[in-house]
Amino acid sequence: MRQLALSDEILMSVDKPARYIGNEVNMVRKNPEDVAIRFAMCFPDVYEIGMSHLGIQILYDMFNQRQDVYCERVYSPWSDLHQIMKKEKIPLFTLETQAPVKQMDFLGITIQYEMCYTNILQILDLSQIPMLAKDRGAEDPIVIGGGPCTYNPEPLADFFDLFYIGEGETQYDKLFDLYKSVKEKCGTREDFLRLACKLPGNYVPSLYEVSYKEDHTIASFTPKYKDVPSTVKKEIQMDLTHTAYPHKPLVPFIKVTQDRVVLEIQRGCIRGCRFCQAGMIYRPTRERDVSMLKACARDMLENTGHEEISLSSLSSSDYSQLKELIDYLMDFRKKGVNISLPSLRIDAFSLDVMNKVQDIRKSSLTFAPEAGSQRLRNVINKGLTEEMILNGAGLAFEGGWQKVKLYFMLGLPTETEEDMRDIPRLADKIARRYYEIPKEKRNGKCQITISTSFFVPKPFTPFQWAPMCKKEEYLARARIVNEEMKEQLNRKSLKYNWHEADVTVLEGVFARGDRRLGQVLLRAYEKGCIFDAWTEFFDHQKWMEAFEETGISIDFYNLRARSLDEILPWDFIDCGVSKEFLIREWQLAQKETVTPNCKLQCNGCGAAQFKGGVCLEHQN
């Protein structure tokens, strides 16, 4: 019999109690006694964020297709419930059965963003599972991490038993079968981990040793035993058409961040922006067949009652069957279903598509030039000229748009003051393009919103060797942009927002850090740091104290340019893109040389080894 882990009194005392009760539409129900494996799938953020994550929806559906596995869910309790659970010693529980997470066989945590790391410790703490992997025993779940941040798992190495690196569709069945086999033979936790590390894509940090030089860089990273692989190769699902995809996704009771059906049309990106980790680690670009997408769209809309469908992709314009898919979805548009198309480029084709599916009077056009000057766009390999940007904006204005959002980065490698000042200058040129339209054909004033984030170098990008800026330097650059904006002719049509630099600095540390950072994370959590991605919770002072008390230098991780021969914490991972390619791209960036996109030519990144996707177009 299913019992609530929280009393009605507690539920009524916290914000949005529906976050914790489960029973949503399409929730999977099984008898826990009829399965061999219980898996708690966790997103370490509040329910509204976690329920919007497509990867969890895919794995939840895929795992529950197995009769011997019951996959349940858990999210980070909001701060009000967190305090109650700590005080009353209530163990964290799953939504499906309200069972304690510590009773599960696996706790699988999606690691999407560096600023969620203290929430991972919150999950372990509230679950009453020892936070350090070395302290766990036979009765504790196997704690496994997945998601994009596992491409440098080292800052979290102390807290995880296992990391799954790559796309989840390929190896989890083998991992579950292995677990059952070890369990049937009464094997130990250590027996399972020693065997699991031999499965492709699986990394067990406790089976590796790291040594350091006097300058604090890594001297060696080696397996402890001869049968432990020295390299962990990412897992990739090449056939996206005949693989798991949820036709009955979960429908939340309350409004969530992505309150819509999400249709992933492809993975990967052909563009090769040098700052973009996703564009590198998800190579090669692979498409889902349009017939499969049509069936999924129809089923998901029928099975959820959602009134919006969003096409998910790093670059939707590059999907070869987009026109046919949009034409099909237009039938749902006539029935009141909205269609969302993020990640479109501003060109005639994309604008024509958006014209069909969006209410131009209400929507704004979002565009990411990333850099204001052509020189810097060449450095980052954005593949956009000023002419293309202005022509695209002109077409949009003539089509009826008057609101434009522009996204840029500050602190990119080789950035100069002129590059910074070119951001508002470019925005002003776009505004001028609007006012070139005859007044009788315009719909009032245009609104151009400039947003700048601060550059963070990421593993497996050509910029992984680049230094970052200090907080004060980032803010100084934002002030230069703001100062220049006031000089522009159309400044009343321009608005400028910039991100906080404190969070960027920490994101940079954990993006490229090593396993010595585990002690900082633990200290920060003990000081009360959670929900660091949320402005109202982020406490910069506590983080600075944690670094000081553990003797860890932020400057060592952020301000130092890495040499090309330095051992990087993630060098043991084979992400499918060669280090030689990344070095070549890093050198081309400094020469301000553009590399053509993957459809125009093969640039020898290494992804052709997977024998599929866009790479096939260049094979004889």
> What are the domain boundaries of the chain?
8-233, 359-499, 579-618
CATH classification for the domain delimited by 359-499, as one of 3.20.20.450, 3.30.750.200, 3.30.1360.20, 3.40.50.12160: 3.30.750.200
Kindly provide the residue ranges of all beta strands, DSSP E only, lying in 202-299, ordered along the sequence. Answer: 202-203, 208-212, 218-223, 232-233, 261-264, 266-267, 286-287
Q: How far is the C-alpha of 136 from the C-alpha of 419, rounded, in Å?
A: 52
**Per residue, what are the HEC states of 458-494?**
CCCCCCCCCCCCCHHHHHHHHHHHHHHHCCCCCHHHE
List the structure tokens of 412: 């990119």
Percent of the chain with pLDDT over 90: 90
Provide the total of helices (H) and of strands (E) in the chain, helices listed first: 20, 19
274: closest CA among 377, 155, 352, 128? 377
Locate all alpha helices (DSSP H) within 527-578, ordered by sequence. Answer: 540-550, 554-558
Name residue 224's amino acid: K
List the structure tokens of 83: 């305090």
Residue 469 has pLDDT above 50, yes or no: yes
Q: What is the mean pLDDT of residues 595-613?
A: 96
Residue 502 has pLDDT above 50, yes or no: yes
Output phi, psi for 607, to 5 deg: -70, -15
Q: How many CB atoms lie within 10 A of CB 147?
A: 23
Q: How far is the C-alpha of 60 from the C-alpha of 74, rounded, in Å?
A: 12
∠524-528-529 over CA atoms, to 5°?
Answer: 55
The sign of the torsion formed by the CA atoms of 56, 261, 80, 548 equals positive
Q: How far is the C-alpha of 305 from the C-alpha of 115, rounded, in Å?
A: 33
User: Please, what is the average pLDDT of the chain?
Assistant: 95
List the structure tokens of 433: 């393009």
CB burial of residue 134 (10 Å; 0-12, 13-18, 19+): exposed
pLDDT at position 127: 98
Q: How far is the C-alpha of 260 from the C-alpha of 22, rounded, in Å?
A: 18
For 536-562, how does the pLDDT look when each residue is reduced to its tens digit (9 = 90+)? 999 999 999 999 999 999 999 999 999
Residue 353 has pLDDT above 90, yes or no: no
pLDDT at position 358: 73
Residue 425 has pLDDT above 50, yes or no: yes
158: closest CA among 208, 233, 202, 100? 208
Cβ pair 201, 162 in contact under 8 A: no
466: closest CA among 475, 476, 474, 455? 455
List the structure tokens of 87: 């005080």
List the structure tokens of 534: 């949320």
Q: What is the mean pLDDT of residues 101-106?
A: 98
Residue 310 has pLDDT above 80, yes or no: yes
List the structure tokens of 180: 């059952």
Q: How far is the C-alpha of 65 from the C-alpha of 370, rounded, in Å?
A: 42
pLDDT at position 287: 98
For 163-214, how does the pLDDT look when each residue is reduced to its tens digit (9 = 90+)? 999 999 999 999 999 999 999 999 999 999 999 999 999 999 999 999 999 9
pLDDT at position 316: 92
The whole model's pTM is what? 0.96
Q: What is the mean pLDDT of residues 303-325?
A: 95
Residue 1 has pLDDT above 50, yes or no: no
CA dihedral 479, 482, 487, 488 (to 10 degrees): 150
pLDDT at position 361: 56
For 20-66, how does the pLDDT look when each residue is reduced to its tens digit (9 = 90+)? 999 999 999 999 999 999 999 999 999 999 999 999 999 999 999 99
Q: How confident is the model at residue 360 (pLDDT cuts 50, 70, 90)?
A: low
Cβ pair 119, 155 in contact under 8 A: no
CB burial of residue 133 (10 Å; 0-12, 13-18, 19+): buried
Q: How confident is the model at residue 495 (pLDDT cuts 50, 70, 90)?
A: very high
pLDDT at position 2: 53
Cβ pair 63, 69 in contact under 8 A: yes
Q: How far is the C-alpha of 348 from the C-alpha of 335, rounded, in Å?
A: 26
